[in-house]
Amino acid sequence: MLQQTQVVTVLRYYPAFLQKFPTIQELARASPSSVLARWAGMGYYSRARNLHRAARIILNRYGGEFPQRYEDLRSLPGIGRYTAGAILSIAFGQRYPVVDGNVERVLARVMALRGDVKAAPYQKYLWSLAGQLTSRRSPSDFNQGMMELGALVCLPRQPQCGLCPVKSMCRARHLNLESRIPKPRRTKTAQYLHRLAAVVRDGRNRVLLVQRRDEELMRDFWEFPQFDVPARGDPGRDGRDSSAFLGRSLHKRFGREFTISHPLCRFQQNITFRRITVQAFEAQLNGEVGRLQCDRMPCRWITARALKDHLFDSTSLKILSNLQNR
């Protein structure tokens, strides 16, 4: 859970997750959708899928006993060098290093590394250095101490050097370079997107949902039919052009005619470096409802009461909450 997510956020999910899946066995035997349901809202869902797959492998390959060999851990889905080091040192007291963003900053400053610490040669050096420094007696305390030092004292912008237990050996401090190390990286340029969504009703108080099938982006999650408008030809804020685009996109996906009636909501959503403007419209299917077909993804009509039994992508969750607050 802590991969890519802050402790304060994880704490909102961790107790409920552990209560639902208190053992590897129970996690392994759960359905993928029930695991994702307990993860919903935290994002980066590939972590939940990896955790679930790892639990199944541990049950089948290791008889339910968590493996304690580095190579075995690395063979599990979702466990890279950092997570393997953290588990082996903190949970099992083995001497393996961890280098996260905090440790990286501390080491880069102590050694006064002036280059791009994310570059491969620096990473190799930092991991090797951390490996040599890691305490034999208490690798767990050492690794946690290094991570805390970076998180609480050796801060990215204003390092608290006066409080630092390693200030006497810190080369960046001696050279007065602590604010310039590590060298700042150029952040990824924001990408602006315009997304149109349709809340299609069938006249029997049901709405149309489609299920995502793409591996990376929230596979198996349900959503209101939605379409990203290509940058060229973006209808922008013009409601008429947006509804025409949405009507054409629905027709292309389902092979049926839809009437787009009126705008429902509009909001901004930031997902990593993407700045997404979402506009949702009310829509109706023309003619007989019958059985809708969509070749790219499963689709179904859902009653308002059954909505809570479905896992939604974040855009559709916001649309739902907008609808409920109207």
Residue 174 near residue 123, CB atoms below 8 Å = no
What is the token pair recorded at 85? Answer: 């080091």
Please state the closest distance from residue 163 (CB atom) to ligand SF4, in A.
8
- Cβ 80 to ligand SF4, closest distance in Å? 25
DSSP, res 312: B
Q: Least CB distance from residue 133 to ligand SF4, whole Å?
A: 13
**What 8-state DSSP symbol labels residue 205?**
S
Choose between 98 and 199: whose C-beta lies nearer to ligand SF4: 98
Please state, in angstroms and rounded to a whole number, the distance separating the CA atoms of residues 247 and 234.
Answer: 15
| Closer Cβ to ligand SF4, 49 or 173, answer by number | 173
Point out which residues pair with 227 in neighbouring strands: 196
Nearer to ligand SF4, 150 or 225 (CB): 150
**Residue (15 or 165) nearer to ligand SF4, CB:** 165
Residues 222 and 211: beta-carbon distance below 8 Å: yes
Task: CB nearer to ligand SF4: give 67 or 159.
Answer: 159
Residue 98 or 172: which CB sits closer to ligand SF4? 172
Which residue(s) pair with 229 in the sheet?
A: 194
Kindly list the residues in this chain that would bind ligand SF4 in the complex (CB under 6 A): 106, 109-110, 153-154, 159-161, 164, 166-167, 170, 172-173, 178
CB of 12 vs ligand SF4, minimal distance in Å: 30
Cβ at position 169, least distance to ligand SF4 in Å: 8
Peptide bond preceding 182 in cis form (omega within 30 of 0): yes
Least Å distance between CB 149 and ligand SF4? Answer: 7
Could you tell me the maximum CA-CA distance found in the chain, to the nearest angstrom? 78
Taking CA atoms, 35 is separated from 10, 207, 315, 317, in Å, by 15, 25, 20, 18
Q: How many CA atoms lie within 13 A of 39 on its CB side?
A: 23
What is the closest distance, in whole angstroms, from the C-beta atom of residue 165 to ligand SF4 in the complex?
Answer: 8
Gap between the Cα atoms of 178 and 70, Å rounded: 34
Which residues are within 8 A (CB) of 192 and not within 5 positions of it... i.e. 6 or more apart? 274, 275, 276, 277
Handedness of CA 62, 66, 69, 70 (dihedral sign): positive
Q: Which residues pair with 207 in a beta bridge?
A: 201, 302
- Three-state DSSP at 106 gives helix
Tokens standing for residue 324: 């409920």
φ, ψ for residue 79, nearest 5 deg = -110, 105
User: Considering the complex, what minimum distance in angstroms separates the CB of residue 157 from ligand SF4?
Assistant: 11
